Amino acid sequence: MKGRLEVTALLAGRVTSVEVQPGQRVKEGQILARFFAGPEQASLERYQHEFELLLVQRMRDLTNEATSQALTSLRAEMELARFQLEQRLVRAPQAGVVSDVRIRRGQHLSEGEVVVALVQEDSPMEVIAMLPGGSRPLLTQGGRMRLELDGFQYQYQELIIDQVGDELVGPEEVRRYLGPELAESLTVNGAVVLVRAHAPSRFFEADGRRLAYFDGMQGTVDARVKTERIILTIIPGLKPLFH
């Protein structure tokens, strides 16, 4: 799904609550998940209590400069504590629809791990294919590909190539490109070229039914690169006679 945004954890911690579910629409800034924030909450409450006590002293004696300086210092400490407490919340960086929730309550996450994935409601679908590197000179934008999704044998979807990679990439580069979730389920041998094609719709037809594409679905792609007379395929020695 194009425009898919993975929201990651800013800090390591334990998930105390998951505030959204797949398919839910969220606004920018909305809380998606909460991490355990006991020490951060306790620090903020302590600073607030000390600030209130000093503020009372300051109101009793407006000439006390030491109290004034202490209030200024505490105010800065409170702002830092609020910032650290805010870091224990995961908020939506933009409005969208929750397409995937990767976490559960009580789970411990490391910094940078995916929490949820967001998409735009009208995001188009895109197919990324890995074709043999030797076919790169024969692949062109506007060419055709045929997709057969896993689990839907002989149900072919016709695609138009939008973009062909200018470089061949190896297995390690493909794994980095796809990310750890998808890379583990694929086996890549040798150099490949990455080809992108758009799906004409967010739905496909299979056995007379209208079904939806989902992010991460896999399948097999065939790309047409050239045509040849059947007789030349059977008897290659005749090729010099034809142009």
- Of 124, 127, 123, 164, which is closest to residue 142 (Cα–Cα)? 164
Structure tokens at 240: 């010099």
pLDDT for position 175 = 80
pLDDT in tens, 136-153: 999 999 988 999 999 999
Q: How confident is the model at residue 243 (pLDDT cuts 50, 70, 90)?
A: low
Residues pairing with 17 in the sheet: 34
pLDDT tens digits for range 184-221: 677 777 889 999 998 888 888 888 889 988 888 889 99
Q: Any alpha helices (H) in the chain, and if so which ranges?
A: 38-60, 65-86, 171-178, 180-183, 230-234
Give residue-wise pLDDT tens across range 80-110: 999 999 999 999 999 999 988 989 999 999 9
Domains for the chain: give ranges and CATH numbers.
5-119 (2.40.50.100), 126-232 (2.40.30)
Q: Which residues contact 118 (CB under 8 A, 6 or more apart)?
A: 4, 5, 7, 26, 92, 93, 94, 96, 97, 98, 99
